[in-house]
Chains A and B, each alone.
Chain A
């Protein structure tokens, strides 16, 4: 590994100023970037530590405003927060399965998103929950829907000098439920062969809305709008769930690689979406 500079920043402005000088990257938990630097996936001169910026450490859960989650908040702070656990079990599914205990002490949801791995376990849950990214940069701030955030493996919409400040999720509606599920060959320490994040809103035995997103089956986390839309107005039953899961399967664009063949991964998308929807439906029934 070559010599690189490290800068600890305490404000969004300070971080933006350093980042716009070029060839620099933010460091949150470091559980992706340090690994990537060691295997030379990219070559930078400066690491800008953003963990100490107050806005990036915010975790505000409000019944009417929803959840604002600072980009650098580590997973363990999320799943030990009772309000978040009660309101966003779909997010907790992701936060509690990324890495093991040590990794969860550092790894952030913001880092998971900005790392832009197709397999990122938090991103389908964020998309299913309708999360929006708050971005700051030399030109001010802007909002980006999470499904539009990743553009290619390791690539995002962030321009030079821009920083993810926080993620915002709307308050969960009554009768809504969400779930994230991935498939891995082992029971721990593994990377998703496929994953599915789903959310549903149910009213009177009928789907009012639904969102479905997939992991590891396309160059970016994949929002399958049409799969969720297919449920709207449909009765909550096995048939509608199977139909939506089949749409998710057909939308997947996986490749054959060491983690599985294309056919197998598409098949898994159907299985995971179906199983996820069934759990989300149960959660929705409890969320009156």
Chain B
């Protein structure tokens, strides 16, 4: 084994390009650093008024009545709305609506916007008012009278699955192994994946480890709270301004909940201050629209941090049982997972993705995975950066670490021995295309960090590796050639991590021009084709792909035009490095800009476009190496050193990939160490502020070093894979393994906060 001389922020590039792989300044940078960028809360217009939302103080209650008359009578208040103002949700309880890739029950969608007959979590909206200013609106909420019949609540998946658990939805029948049963319960779904023969695999094993894990509900913690402004015009047309990861999803959900044609709604995306999966739901947009309809004014609703923590979609807590067996020489022969995830108030936890990822780093012949989607009295869970995978990896990577220890293998070598490769079948079905699991593990093994001595008491080094499927989805792009040869690019993907630039770079590469010649714009939903949301690490992959095709469309058209002007055959021409040249006549050459200037007089402007849904996605692996120091008296865990290794396929803009790797690592550290929804027995979140919901601050994390591994995906034009999410999967597990090495305790619960560590030390006799 050779220790490689990896510099900080190493890029292990395998293919070089002109533009792709460089680090240009982002197009939206100036506006963002000077404060000119317009985020959701910055929106303003004449006649703007403000909405405020009354939320359920109970985790589970029947709404007997809501009386808004006193609030409406308050000076300054212009309107109030409840679920009754919306098309009724119980009119057709079985009606479903397709939102992006999700088929959602319309009743669930509407009840999460404004509760109709029941509230299912503390913080669920029940009514809203609009007033001349936000203070009047908030004060008026106290005047709304709601008569609740408080019901017993249930807060965790294991409790929700009990026979005598309070039932959230009277109509929710359990889907059991693909069949809808007659059983009304909180278990929306139980599914199972089977590969090989588990019992035989366990029988072959010399060591079998079985452990149970619990993880807490955690929030994405984006810096900008949810926001929505809406105007309902007298002609029935609605405009929504909000920051969202899914402009088209929120438009369509608003149309469905308001019973409007999609064409009646235009969503104007504002700059977005983070989402991490949490900004797909409509929340305030339909409410603001309804308040606008009643008042004739534009209505703006901004959530406070407490509302955002309690009333949006965190990623759920989970209960896992992981059992794995291996032979003495380190071959994993069997793996079993029981995954019970909290869906929150309505079905739809990320347990499906947890099941796809749980053993995906390994080639295991005999597997059984059981997944349970359980509704509980917490906010409807949303997506959060590799949803489900972090919880699953916490369990599996801890068990793998224990197997390595029991068998006396180096933890990375044991993983390498069993690593998934091209051709390995995952228990949920797919056979791996070209993947970079081995390459990531090798880079970890060879990294100076992994090989550096770790001295001092109570210090330990942990590692973990993880997988995320990544997503793709529909995307559309238009590129216009301007008369001076510059280009304007329109796309529909909200730009969260610098994707305007990484998308434009892929077009620039095709045309052989600097990316600064392209002005990429994220446009409203009336101005570009349907584009699925900024999630699943998809934008650089899918929107980059459409930009690549749109640029090729331009290339074809420009060559065509030049061939007409020169009266030669198009296939004798080429467009390279910003110049149109002839393959046969070296005299024939014209710059891209020169030709652009002639377009309008020689047949009309050139507009390249492409809309597509990528035929495949590029799943990705990442791993963490972490050094921790544990204070056994206070239980505090200090992260001394952290390295993130990730397969990017091809890093289109390496700085933005590194940013994702560092950001995901920090979020993973927070999830591992301190973040949690601390609930009281009645189902109330006790720590709904950023003081007590403890995300790491800058002093809590060291500089996160990165290594970008490049194993090109087989499908994408430049080999890119999604890079936004997989980096969050492994930090909690790696930290747990580091804590074990430091003080000899196995942490089986997240968060591993100081109190939990001390308790584990005590349990261990310390």
> What is A's interface to B at a CB cutoff of 8 Å?
1-2, 183, 185-191, 193, 257-261, 264, 267-268, 271
Indicate if the CB atoms of B135 and A258 lie closer than 8 Å.
no
**Interface residue B694 (Cβ < 8 Å from any Cβ of A):** yes
CA A185 to CA B635, docked complex, whole Å: 9
Q: How large is the interface on B (under 10, 10 to 19, 20 to 34, 35 or more residues)?
A: 20 to 34
Interface of A is mostly: loop
CA A194 to CA B636, docked complex, whole Å: 13
Q: Which chain A residues border B700 with CB–CB below 8 Å?
A: 186-188
What is the distance, in angstroms, from A222's C-beta to the closest C-beta of chain B? 19
Indicate if the CB atoms of B691 and A189 lie closer than 8 Å.
yes
**Interface residue B686 (Cβ < 8 Å from any Cβ of A):** yes
| CB nearest to B633 among chain A residues | A271
Which of A186, A258, A268 lies in contact with B678, CB distance below 8 A?
A: A258
Indicate if the CB atoms of A264 and B691 lie closer than 8 Å.
no
Indicate if the CB atoms of A186 and B696 lie closer than 8 Å.
yes
**Interface residue B759 (Cβ < 8 Å from any Cβ of A):** yes
CA A193 to CA B758, docked complex, whole Å: 14
Q: Which chain B residues border A260 with CB–CB below 8 Å?
A: 754-755
> What is B's interface to A at a CB cutoff of 8 Å?
135, 138-139, 633-636, 673-674, 678, 686-687, 691-692, 694, 696-700, 753-755, 758-759
Indicate if the CB atoms of A264 and B692 lie closer than 8 Å.
no
Q: Which chain A residues border B697 with CB–CB below 8 Å?
A: 186-189
Which of A1, A257, A264 lies in contact with B758, CB distance below 8 A?
A: A264
Indicate if the CB atoms of A187 and B686 lie closer than 8 Å.
no
What is the distance, in angstroms, from B691's C-beta to the closest C-beta of chain A? 6
What is the distance, in angstroms, from A262's C-beta to the closest C-beta of chain B? 11
Which of A183, A186, A261, A268 lies in contact with B694, CB distance below 8 A?
A: A186
Indicate if the CB atoms of B139 and A185 lie closer than 8 Å.
no
Indicate if the CB atoms of B692 and A191 lie closer than 8 Å.
yes
Which of A183, A187, A258, A261 lies in contact with B692, CB distance below 8 A?
A: A258
Indicate if the CB atoms of A264 and B759 lie closer than 8 Å.
yes
| CB nearest to A38 among chain B residues | B304
Indicate if the CB atoms of B699 and A186 lie closer than 8 Å.
yes
Indicate if the CB atoms of A268 and B634 lie closer than 8 Å.
yes
Indicate if the CB atoms of A185 and B694 lie closer than 8 Å.
yes
| CB nearest to B677 among chain A residues | A258
What is the distance, in angstroms, from B588's C-beta to the closest C-beta of chain A? 65
CA A258 to CA B692, docked complex, whole Å: 8
Indicate if the CB atoms of B699 and A2 lie closer than 8 Å.
no
Known: A189-B697, A191-B692. A183 touches B686 (CB 8 A): no
Q: Which chain A residues border B673 with CB–CB below 8 Å?
A: 185
| CB nearest to B637 among chain A residues | A185
Q: Which chain A residues border B674 with CB–CB below 8 Å?
A: 185-186
CA A1 to CA B698, docked complex, whole Å: 31
| CB nearest to B692 among chain A residues | A258
Which of A1, A189, A193, A258 lies in contact with B754, CB distance below 8 A?
A: A193
Q: Which chain B residues border A258 with CB–CB below 8 Å?
A: 678, 686-687, 692
Q: Which chain A residues border B692 with CB–CB below 8 Å?
A: 191, 258-259
CA A188 to CA B636, docked complex, whole Å: 13
Q: Which chain A residues border B678 with CB–CB below 8 Å?
A: 258
Indicate if the CB atoms of B699 and A188 lie closer than 8 Å.
yes
11 contacts between A and B (CB under 8 A): A1-B135, A185-B636, A185-B753, A185-B754, A187-B699, A189-B697, A260-B754, A260-B755, A264-B635, A264-B759, A271-B634
| CB nearest to A265 among chain B residues | B755
| CB nearest to A183 among chain B residues | B634
CA A258 to CA B688, docked complex, whole Å: 11
CA A183 to CA B635, docked complex, whole Å: 10
Q: Point out which of A2, A193, A267 has the most chain B C-beta atoms below 10 A from its C-beta.
A: A267
Known: A193-B754, A264-B759. A2 touches B135 (CB 8 A): yes
| CB nearest to A194 among chain B residues | B634
Q: Point out which of B633, B636, B678, B759 has the most chain A C-beta atoms below 10 A from its C-beta.
A: B633
What is the distance, in angstroms, from B221's C-beta to the closest C-beta of chain A? 14
CA A187 to CA B686, docked complex, whole Å: 21
Q: Point out which of B686, B692, B694 has the most chain A C-beta atoms below 10 A from its C-beta.
A: B694
Indicate if the CB atoms of A2 and B139 lie closer than 8 Å.
yes
| CB nearest to A187 among chain B residues | B699
Indicate if the CB atoms of B754 and A183 lie closer than 8 Å.
yes
* 3 interchain residue pairs of minimum CB distance: A258-B678, A187-B699, A264-B755
What is the distance, in angstroms, from B670's C-beta to the closest C-beta of chain A? 10
Q: Point out which of B635, B674, B759 has the most chain A C-beta atoms below 10 A from its C-beta.
A: B635
Q: Point out which of A183, A257, A264 has the most chain B C-beta atoms below 10 A from its C-beta.
A: A264
| CB nearest to B676 among chain A residues | A258
Q: Which chain A residues border B754 with CB–CB below 8 Å?
A: 183, 185, 193, 260, 264
CA A187 to CA B753, docked complex, whole Å: 13
Q: Which chain B residues border A183 with CB–CB below 8 Å?
A: 634, 636, 754
What is the distance, in angstroms, from B377's C-beta to the closest C-beta of chain A? 18
Indicate if the CB atoms of A257 and B686 lie closer than 8 Å.
yes
Q: Which chain A residues border B759 with CB–CB below 8 Å?
A: 261, 264
What is the distance, in angstroms, from A211's C-beta to the closest C-beta of chain B? 23
Indicate if the CB atoms of B691 and A190 lie closer than 8 Å.
yes
| CB nearest to A271 among chain B residues | B633
